[in-house]
């Protein structure tokens, strides 16, 4: 019996260390085929302890595990309800009671606008989107993708604001861990204090990861708005965000000229920015530790092909003072990035001296040899007048002139092709030191990030 008890203790210890939530050595959940050999009741119990990403990964291991996951959850659902899901509800009337993990909502329009299009659809599809939302089980919802398309219709815009208030009042925003909102620039004006403020989507700004995509398209109303409204709306929105991870995708700027913007926040720890090259805001984020950026390749202030980190999208000089806790900048450690900048500055100063071929000696400037022409590569002849004046050949050294056969063509005003080649290779070496900002295809950010 003592040996049996000892065996039980030895077996139970690793299980406790792996399952304890407070263990400092806990590892992420990695689904494998071995889980399909467990009883169904065990797998179902395991699903209650997993997050959404782990459940979705588990469903992709094999067919057996996918059937067990689908029997309990609706992995992804779209509102308005699609015809395929409406037909599925006819065959399985109680399937809407299964918990939805990820939800897409798009094409939000009032009922009287879409009434003509729903005459030949099923009864479920004819319900308003608000009723469809309350029909499904949202108890396990963690990810929401909300797409507010471009519109000039005032009724549609008011309906969408009311729908956001519905999501806020029903507690949908409060239980989310990830929210992807695709909208347009004029929408940010609704969040200004003199308008609605953040009351109708307060909890949406406090999710763990918030993704905001400002579409590159412009409505008629946006074209009439000035850059001051855009700046004011963007600065106000960023200051209200309380998410730990924040992703901001901006299709284009309303003007080709630089718009002075100050983005301030005291909650964001990881900030990812996708914007045109001339976005160039000033950041004041006291808690941000990781800062990544990508560019859409428009209006680069440096060179269209360079997209140099620290100058494209975000100017390092506008970031370093306002982000005291920053550790990673553009995928590079901040200490390494500073060393790169210092090295580049020294090399640039050296290249200026190489081009000018001068050095300062006291109060005077002294011209330097190129070191590449035929004259610089020759040795002293020892026979000319200048060589005989040199001390090495027994002279007094008062003339201080080079051998007549070693005249530098660069100092004489001639062209040296080898010298130009060396400068070009030096420039290539400078370009490789500091990495480039990656260029992305903007169209992929129009789509929802939920797959």
pLDDT tens sequence across 86-122: 888 888 877 778 889 999 998 888 876 555 555 556 7
In whole angstroms, give the CA distance from residue 181 to residue 211. Answer: 6
pLDDT band at 203 (very low <50, low <70, confident <90, very high): very high
pLDDT value of residue 208: 94
pLDDT digits (tens, 9 = 90+) for 146-175: 998 888 888 888 888 889 999 999 899 999
pLDDT value for 324: 92
269 has a pLDDT exceeding 90: yes
Find the mean pLDDT for residues 364-372. 72
Structure-model confidence comparison of residues 158 and 433, the more confident one = 158
- What local confidence, expressed as pLDDT, does residue 359 receive? 64
- Asked if residue 230 has pLDDT above 90, the reply is no
| Contact assessment for residue 73 and residue 52, using Cβ atoms and an 8 Å cutoff | no
Record the pTM: 0.74
Quote the pLDDT of residue 121: 66
Averaged pLDDT for residues 183-188: 87
More confident residue, 132 or 176: 176
Per-residue pLDDT at 422 exceeds 60: no
Q: Are 130 and 166 in contact (CB under 8 A)?
A: yes
User: DSSP 3-state assignment of 273?
Assistant: strand
- Classify each residue of 106-134 as buried b or exposed e, where b means 16 or more C-beta atoms within 10 Å of its C-beta: eebbbeeebeeeeeeeeebbbbebbebbe
Which of these ranges, 21-35, 248-262, 425-439, has the smallest mean pLDDT? 21-35
Which residue, among 255, 264, 251, 209, has the nearest Cα to 230 in the 3D structure? 255
Task: Average the pLDDT over each of 8-22, 105-119, 349-363, 380-394 and give the range with the smallest value.
Answer: 8-22
- Asked if residue 70 has pLDDT above 50, the reply is yes
What is residue 196's predicted lDDT score, i.e. its pLDDT?
82
Confidence of residue 28 (pLDDT cuts 50, 70, 90): low
Pull the structure tokens for residue 153.
């219709």
Q: Judge contact between 133 and 162, C-beta under 8 A.
A: no
Question: In this predicted model, what pLDDT tens digit does every residue of 322-335 receive, in sequence order?
Answer: 999 999 999 899 99
The pair of three-digit structure tokens given for residue 367, joined into one six-digit string = 């011209």
Q: Average model confidence (pLDDT) for the chain?
A: 78
**Share above pLDDT 90 across residues of the chain, in percent, rounded to a whole number:** 21
Residue-level pLDDT at 23 = 40
């Amino acid at each position: 019996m003592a040996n049996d008890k000892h065996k039980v203790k030895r077996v139970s210890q690793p299980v406790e260390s792996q399952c304890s939530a407070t263990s400092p050595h806990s590892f992420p959940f990695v689904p494998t085929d071995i889980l399909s050999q467990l009883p169904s009741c065990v797998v179902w119990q395991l699903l209650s302890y997993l997050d959404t990403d782990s459940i979705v990964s588990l469903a992709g291991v094999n067919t057996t595990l996918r059937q067990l996951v689908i029997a309990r959850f609706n992995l992804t659902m779209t509102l308005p309800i699609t015809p395929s899901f409406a037909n599925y509800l006819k065959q399985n009337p109680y399937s809407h009671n299964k918990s939805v993990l990820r939800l897409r909502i798009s094409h939000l329009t009032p009922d009287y606008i879409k009434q003509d299009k729903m005459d030949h659809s099923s009864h479920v599809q004819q319900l308003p989107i608000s009723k469809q939302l309350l029909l499904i089980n949202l108890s396990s919802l963690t990810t929401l993708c909300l797409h507010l398309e471009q519109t000039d219709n005032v009724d549609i815009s008011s309906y969408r604001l009311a729908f956001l208030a519905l999501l806020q009042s029903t507690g949908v925003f409060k239980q989310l861990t990830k929210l992807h909102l695709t909208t347009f620039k004029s929408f940010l004006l609704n969040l200004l204090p003199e308008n609605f403020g953040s009351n109708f989507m307060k909890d949406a700004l406090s999710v763990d990861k918030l993704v905001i995509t400002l579409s590159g398209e412009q409505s008629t109303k946006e074209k009439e708005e000035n850059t001051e409204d855009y700046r004011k709306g963007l600065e106000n929105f960023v200051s209200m965000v309380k998410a730990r991870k924040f992703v901001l995708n901006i299709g284009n700027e309303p003007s080709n000229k630089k718009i002075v913007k100050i983005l301030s926040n005291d909650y964001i720890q990881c900030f990812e920015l996708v914007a045109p090259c001339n976005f160039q805001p000033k950041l004041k984020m006291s808690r941000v530790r990781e800062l990544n950026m990508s560019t859409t390749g428009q209006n680069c202030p440096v060179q269209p092909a360079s997209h140099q980190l620290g100058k494209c999208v975000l100017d390092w000089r506008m970031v370093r003072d306002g982000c005291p806790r920053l550790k990673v900048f553009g995928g590079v450690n901040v200490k390494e990035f500073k060393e790169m900048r210092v090295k580049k500055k020294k090399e640039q100063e050296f290249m200026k001296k190489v081009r000018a071929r001068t050095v300062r000696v006291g109060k005077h400037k002294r011209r330097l040899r190129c070191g590449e022409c035929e004259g610089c590569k020759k040795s002293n002849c020892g026979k000319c007048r200048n060589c005989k004046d040199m001390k090495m050949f027994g002279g007094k050294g008062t003339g201080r002139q080079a051998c007549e056969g070693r005249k530098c063509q660069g100092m004489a005003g001639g062209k040296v092709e080898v010298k130009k080649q060396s400068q070009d290779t030096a420039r290539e070496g400078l370009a490789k030191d500091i990495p480039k900002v990656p260029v992305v295809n903007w169209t992929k950010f129009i789509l929802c990030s939920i797959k």
